Amino acid sequence: MHAEPQSLLGLAVNPADVPAAGGVLDDASWARALTGFLSFIPHTARLNVRVEEVAAPAIRMQLPWQPALIGDPHRRLVHGGVLTMFADTLCGSAVLTGLSAPEVCPTLDLRLDHYRPGVEGLALVGEARVLRVTESMVFTEAQIWQQPGKILCRAIGNFVRLGERNTPSGFAEALLAAANAQAPANPSIHESEPLGQSAQAAQPADEKTEPQAPRDAQDPRGLLSARRFVEGQRTHADLAALLASLPYAQAIGLGLCAIDGQQAGAASDVELHPEQALSYSMAAMPDNVGNPMLPAVHGGVLAAAMETAATLEVLRRHGRGGREARLPKLIDFSIDYLATARGDQVTRIDCEVMREGRRMTNVRVSAWQKSREQPVASARMHFVLESLASP
């Protein structure tokens, strides 16, 4: 019988490492403050991310199941980028509970190790805690799971302290006001519709939703369907159709941008070859914003877009020319945030496969807005190539 993962909320905190844990608020007040904070962030409000418990400097949150979280339509798995977004949100929220006074702390870098994929129909539960606070940095860790004893991933996030002087006016006051308000436990349920759904299609977050497409009784794991896709894709139109079938990719506005420098829309039926340079783009969408004051793209959303682009690049290299059809399985993801990605601008994404073996692939990804010479983020990831030889 599986045991509950060791809670980060119950671990002892070294007072020398986090001397101001909790700051000026008690745990119940922090729960109210962070609930207000998440409802203020467009992306987490749309996903209805909830605060479950605070034991400063640690927190627990839940991301209810919804169809928009799907990233693998063949095997009905959660998009890996959703885990990255959730981890970034967890760690960034925990940071606030580890400081003497609220201040803005942007993500410097984030690393995730993926142990197993998330599955449809189950909520995601995550915890994060502050490990150490210095004058310039805050160091955090997080873990995410769906079922007791089955961790999906662990994360390490490092955040830069901007200090009171560089924190936008009103930020601390808004958090403290939310802490003192008797707000509903989940205000975003009534204030916004779930991401990627219309208000008419929205379902209560606590209800287990049905799969978007029926499973084949002869293919319960979706491997036959996945193999047919990998072996059959040949053109830009195939990749565009794949993106259209990924709810979370669609929700964040990810699409194809250019082939060998030419606009992809002008060559939708061209045969794609692995050596061709294919770029991706993420639209400027209000729901992608993580900091409305700038506005800036949510760091986890940016990471999710970069991860998806890298996965598609690996897919393009398999299932053709007699090669065995294989699906990339993300093992680790590491991203460095280099500059602010503005939420009112299109983000471009370029991928480079650094090493491709029979079972492992390494990919480097760059995201930019104004020019390639001024990237907003750089990421690196490893994939295991999972055989699809038999269901």
Residues with Cβ within 8 Å of 282's Cβ and at least 6 positions away in sequence, in order, are 252, 253, 254, 255, 288, 297, 301, 302, 305, 346, 347, 349
Average pLDDT, the chain: 83
Tokens of 313: 């690049």
Residues with Cβ within 8 Å of 301's Cβ and at least 6 positions away in sequence, in order, are 43, 81, 85, 252, 282, 288, 290
pLDDT, greater one: 262 or 76? 76
**Pick from 8-12, 163-167, 193-197, 265-269: least confident:** 193-197
Q: Is a pLDDT exceeding 70 seen at residue 215?
A: no
Q: Calculate the CA 164 to chain-centre distance.
A: 28
pLDDT, greater one: 313 or 127? 127
- For residues 354 and 140, give the distance between their C-alpha atoms in angstroms, rounded to a whole number: 29
Domains assigned to the chain:
8-188 (3.10.129.10), 223-387 (3.10.129.10)
Cis peptide bond upstream of 42, omega within 30:
no
Site of tokens 């990255």: 84
Where are the alpha helices (H) located in 117-268, listed in sequence order?
A: 163-166, 171-180, 188-191, 223-232, 236-244, 247-251
Q: What's the pTM value of the predicted model, to 2 decimals?
A: 0.85
